[in-house]
Amino acid sequence: MSLYHVKLYVVSLIAFLVIDTVWLRLMYPTFYRSRLGFIMAPDLKLTAALVFYLLFVAGLLVFVIVPGLAAGPSGMTLARAALFGLVAYGTHDLTSLAAFKSWPLSVTVVDMLWGASVSVLVSLVGLRFGKRIGRPGA
């Protein structure tokens, strides 16, 4: 992994943390707490959240951002970003919908749409940053 990729990762991770923090601050007290409060832990498990963020951004880099930078401008890159987020968030939400007797369908739908949206937003940040600093050897 080159310094170029480390920079891409760090910038994309920061973008994801900022964007998702805004989303959660807006949606957690009203949307999520009202629908999932009955199963929520009193305190957030920060280690699990951090591992998710680290893995998710690594996946975006490997499957979306780096290939998108190599291929050049294309709507397919953002479509891949949306699909990546839909699948990643859908894995959790559809499993929860299947396994838990009181898991709300509305949470599944909203989360999957958010997963697609945040993936596109973070990928845009990563793609723009990657273009700005230039690919190694380019």
Task: Name the residue ranges covered by the structural domains of the chain.
Answer: 3-133
CB of 91 closer than 8 Å to CB of 29: no
- For helices 3-27 and 46-60, what crossing angle results, to 10°? 130
Note the pLDDT tens digit of each residue in 12-42.
999 999 999 999 999 999 999 999 999 998 8
Give residue 1's pLDDT band: very low, low, confident or very high (50, 70, 90). Answer: confident
pLDDT for the residue 104: 97
- Tens digit of each residue's pLDDT (9 = 90 or more) over 109-120: 999 999 999 999
Alpha-carbon distances of 93 from 88, 108, 113, 126, 131, rounded to whole Å: 9, 5, 11, 26, 34
- Whole-model pTM: value is 0.93
Kindly write down the DSSP assignment for every residue of 4-51, as one continuous string.
HHHHHHHHHHHHHHHHHHHHHHHHIIIIIHHHHTTT--SS--HHHHHH
SS3 assignment, position 138: coil
Q: What angle do CA 72, 75, 81 make, to 5 degrees?
A: 95
Residue type, 7: K
